Amino acid sequence: MTVKLMQGNEAIAMGALAAGCRFYAGYPITPSTEVAEVLARELPRVGGKFIQMEDEIASMAAIIGARVGGLKSMTATSGPGFSLMQENLGYAANTEIPCVVVDVQRLGPSTGSPTAAAQGDVMQARWGTHGDHPIIALSPISVRQAFDLTVTAFDMSERYRTPVLLMTDEIIGHMREPVEFPDFSTIKVYEQKVNEKPEDYKAFRNTPDGVPPFAAQGLGYRYHITGMLHDEVGFPTQRMDEIDPWVERLNSKLDKYMDEIALVEADHQVGARVALLSYGCSARTARHAMKAARSRGQKVDLLTLLTLWPFPERQVEALGERVDRICVVEMNLGQMALEVERIVGRKKVVRVTRANGEMITPQMVLDAMEVSK
Amino acid sequence: MSNQHILDAATLENDEALIPQSGWFERSETLQKLRKNKKFPTIWCSGCGIGVVMGALIRAIDHLGLKNDDVALVAGIGCSARMPVYMDFNTMHTAHGRALAFATGLKIARPDMKVIAVMGDGDALAIGGNHFIHAARRNIGITALVVNNAIYGMTGGQYSPTTPLGGRATTAPYGNIEPPFPICELATAAGASYVARSTVYHALELDKFLAEAIAKDGFSLVEAVSYCHTTYGRLNKLGAAADMMRSLKDNTISKSALDRMTPEEKAANTKIVRGNFVNIDRPEYTNTYADLITRVQEGEK
Amino acid sequence: MPEASAIPNSPPAAVPPSAPKKGPRGEVLLYARWCKGCRICVEFCPAKVLAMDPDADHPYVAAPEKCTACHFCDTHCPDLAIVVRKLE
């Protein structure tokens, strides 16, 4: 492949195609619309299917239905649409159907400012749908990473049988950077392995590894999928001896795989007593501030979260043990800071926040590092 | 008193709640389509028409000779939506109102499958109203089976978009003041290529319409008029299940009988009209998209 | 599209009320475990083959010889608890 100047949203669409996505259902919403437009054009070329549904609720439902029918699927939206998708997102989490949902965040709440960037949906990503459930959310900091993490999202959704959220923002979504993608034929995503015969298959089996293999329907495996609490076979149940193990398995199934799921980029400087912690577009600001500080002789660590959920507790805890202060840089009023505070204690955390559509500036970060000494 | 015509627990060899594997069960081709690992009897109230619709659906699928693997039932939420779990097909029980949206994704992924959306009246026409009109507009090859008992039964008897004017419900204690949707006209106006209505009294007519609807390429709507004696019947003093079944016999009229009436008689008709109202050929969505893929891959820009 | 006449078991337009002289045309089997006692079969059987069992909450086949295999009961049983077999 050649080097191209590409927009983040287009890179996400390309990542989906490379990962084997062959179904997209979505509804236009700024600043995510380009993901849909690129896939509307590209999916038929590879025999895939695109449909613009009547709303975001239908879009989320359709991508789940398509995966049950055997096609890897994705949708993309922004805040207001993300809010609409929550019920069916919970359906996918409950029934463990792999799919990818992209949220190109904009300033909210409500209609907010459609063309302004924000990172205000990150806590909603964890708890937007009702009930206790696990979720994976990834956040790229560059156009190339938007491609890579989209591929990772598909891989993780299949590997762990869960919806995966790609939490990006208007900055990353709309910016253009030169990228060179690997040959798509070299990109491999986890493939489901169903070894049981249809008559023995239990779609929600309590396997020791926590993730039962997923068989698409209509290919010999006829079973029941329901959003009600269900037994291993998939039938609704109210028996405690079936509900308890299911609740336990579902909510702990990602714990075993934290090392593979919790992705971060760590830039440590020996002797640093202060760290910056950020993600998405704000991580670019944080990196600028880090370089400026270091060039002035100030030692500072930078931890960039690529995985927002499950929260990278181990890495953040280790960071908290190395430094006295962690400045959390995010374009909301401290949503991930809450998690950092939970892990390292409130006294160690300085919030560098902004929720008015303007990017946080490197100077704001440097000032916060100064003031909090 | 028992005789050789009654099978009870004493005559069974396996778990009494599961489908019996011998003799009686095997005589019925219909019952072969039930899930052998699902516990029966069904969850519905004694006398509920939904069970009658399930029988009609199974007979229709059986009549068409469809393989179980080729059939998908996608349900919303409500009493009617509890139907698919009992049948040995590919089944999904989704979110309230969203059956057609889930079914759309499944049908697009597997256009070769027969996809049937099983919904109640509130499920399909209230919360699901938007998906209903758009699936019809697209003419996607899904059969929408709407069991219309004019109430929200599962939640205890609240009024729905098809509750008659004046009918009492738990959220219309002084009588419903909202005019009901005409389901068949709605589907017709939205673009459905097959539209039919029958009742659980006219079970064999329901078989016929369901078989035609499922065989049809395109969006087909079958409205199966039923009743909820437990909630609506009780609140409006309409009697037991058998009484409400009888009133479906007495208070409906066939389309052919209606067509033979004078204009004045027709205008004065208050009975529910049964019949096949629409059966046209329009391009079906997944077929059109397949053509699009071909054109694009052949170089269209 | 399947023809209406191709659908099996179409009921006759009217069922003679008296018992056929040649013996029953159908055999009724009822699975009591699935029956919830709604009485639809009892109330609608044109030949009064079924009646409620006074000692139980389900019907019994009171007059098996009268069955004409019209199939009303097994197509209208909400619990699929009745099977009617045509006798040759």
**What residue segments make up the domains of chain A, in order of their start?**
4-186, 263-371
Number of domains chain C is built from: 1
Interface membership of A297 toward B (CB under 8 Å) = no
Residues in B closer than 8 angstroms to C10, CB to CB, are 204
Q: Which domains, from first to last, does chain B contain?
A: 45-297 (3.40.50.970)
As a whole number of angstroms, the distance between CA B137 and CA A63 comes to 20
**A9-21: average pLDDT:** 98
pLDDT at C4 over 50: no
Helix (H, G, I), strand (E, B) or coil at A32: coil
Peptide bond into C59 cis (omega under 30): no
pLDDT at B196 over 80: yes
Give the number of other Cβ atoms within 10 Å of residue C5's Cβ: 8
Of B3, B47, B49, the CB nearest to C60: B3
Chain B nearest-CA residue for C83:
B28
Query: Domain for residue C75, yes or no?
Result: yes
**pLDDT tens-place string over residues A284-308:** 999 999 999 999 999 999 999 999 9
As a whole number of angstroms, the distance between CA B61 and CA B24 comes to 21
Query: Domain for residue C18, yes or no?
Result: no
Give the CATH number of domain A263-371: 3.40.50.920
As a whole number of angstroms, the distance between CA B5 and CA C64 comes to 9
As a whole number of angstroms, the distance between CA A79 and CA A355 comes to 14
Residues A69, B106 contacting (CB under 8 angstroms): yes
Query: Domain for residue C6, yes or no?
Result: no
- Torsions phi, psi of B292, nearest 5? -65, -45
Question: Facing residues of C51 across strands?
Answer: C60
Residues in A closer than 8 angstroms to B289, CB to CB, are 44, 49, 51
Give the number of other Cβ atoms within 10 Å of residue B90's Cβ: 30
- Of residues A329, A284, A339, A349, the one with CA closest to residue A309: A339
- Of residues A99, A216, A89, the one with CA closest to residue A160: A99
Alpha helices (H) along chain C: 40-44, 72-76
Token representation of residue B111: 């256009």
As a whole number of angstroms, the distance between CA C74 and CA C76 comes to 5
**Radius of gyration (C-alpha) of chain A in whole angstroms:** 21
Q: Which CATH number fits domain A4-186: 2.30.30.40, 3.40.50.620, 3.40.50.970, 3.30.1490.20?
A: 3.40.50.970
Question: Facing residues of A273 across strands?
Answer: none
**pLDDT tens-place string over residues A52-70:** 999 999 999 999 999 999 9
Question: In terms of residue numbers, what domain contains C80?
Answer: 30-88
Residues in B closer than 8 angstroms to C54, CB to CB, are 1
**Radius of gyration (C-alpha) of chain B in whole angstroms:** 20
**A72-88: average pLDDT:** 98
As a whole number of angstroms, the distance between CA A358 and CA A352 comes to 13
As a whole number of angstroms, the distance between CA A196 and CA A207 comes to 13
**pLDDT tens-place string over residues A132-189:** 999 999 999 999 999 999 999 999 999 999 999 999 999 999 999 999 999 999 999 9
Please, which pLDDT band fits residue A372 given cuts at 50, 70 and 90?
confident
As a whole number of angstroms, the distance between CA B143 and CA B247 comes to 27
As a whole number of angstroms, the distance between CA A221 and CA B230 comes to 37
Fill in the amino acid letter for C45: C
As a whole number of angstroms, the distance between CA B242 and CA B259 comes to 29
- Hey, what's the torsion of the CAs at B243, B248, B249, B251, to 10 degrees? 110
Token representation of residue B91: 């089944």
8 Å CB contact of A69 and B38: no
Say which residue the tokens 């069960």 belong to: B25
As a whole number of angstroms, the distance between CA C40 and CA B242 comes to 5
Query: Domain for residue C7, yes or no?
Result: no
Pairing of strands A224-226, B90-93: parallel
Q: How many CA atoms lie within 13 A of A214 on its CB side?
A: 26
Residues A213, A35 contacting (CB under 8 angstroms): no
Question: Facing residues of A328 across strands?
Answer: A277, A351
**A66-82: average pLDDT:** 98
Task: Looking at the complex, report in whole angstroms how far the Cα of residue C88 sits from the nearest Cα belonging to chain B.
Answer: 14
pTM, two decimals, is 0.94
Task: Looking at the complex, report in whole angstroms how far the Cα of residue C23 sits from the nearest Cα belonging to chain B.
Answer: 16
**pLDDT tens-place string over residues A317-335:** 999 999 999 999 999 999 9
Residues in A closer than 8 angstroms to B35, CB to CB, are 224
pLDDT at A73 over 80: yes
As a whole number of angstroms, the distance between CA A306 and CA B167 comes to 57
B–C interface: beta-carbon pairs under 8 A: 131
Of A55, A69, A217, the CB nearest to B130: A55
Q: How many CA atoms lie within 13 A of B61 on its CB side?
A: 28
Chain A nearest-CA residue for B108:
A66
pLDDT at B19 over 90: no
8 Å CB contact of C75 and B6: no
CATH number of the domain bearing residue C58: 3.30.70.20
8 Å CB contact of A65 and B104: yes
**What is the predicted pLDDT for the residue at C7?**
32
Long-range CB contacts for residues B156-159, cutoff 8 Å, separation at least 24: B156/B231, B157/B228, B157/B230, B157/B231, B157/B232, B157/B234, B157/B235
Fill in the amino acid letter for B81: A
8 Å CB contact of A88 and B98: yes
- Topology match between the domains A4-186 and A263-371: yes
Say which residue the tokens 């049964």 belong to: B274
Among A84, A224, A228, A231, the residue to mutate for chain B (most B Cβ within 10 A): A224
Interface membership of A217 toward B (CB under 8 Å) = yes
**B191-202: average pLDDT:** 98
pLDDT at B11 over 60: no
pLDDT at B12 over 60: no
**pLDDT tens-place string over residues C44-73:** 999 999 999 988 889 999 999 999 999 999
Chain B residues within 8 Å of chain A (Cβ atoms): 35, 37-38, 68-70, 72, 74, 84-85, 88-95, 98, 101-110, 113, 130-131, 134, 289, 292-293, 296-297
Query: Domain for residue C21, yes or no?
Result: no
Chain C residues within 8 Å of chain B (Cβ atoms): 1-2, 4, 6-11, 27-40, 43-44, 53-55, 58, 60-61, 64, 74-81, 83, 85
Token representation of residue C23: 């013996």
Of B2, B8, B245, the CB nearest to C33: B8
Among A39, A41, A225, the residue to mutate for chain B (most B Cβ within 10 A): A225
Residues A347, A300 contacting (CB under 8 angstroms): no
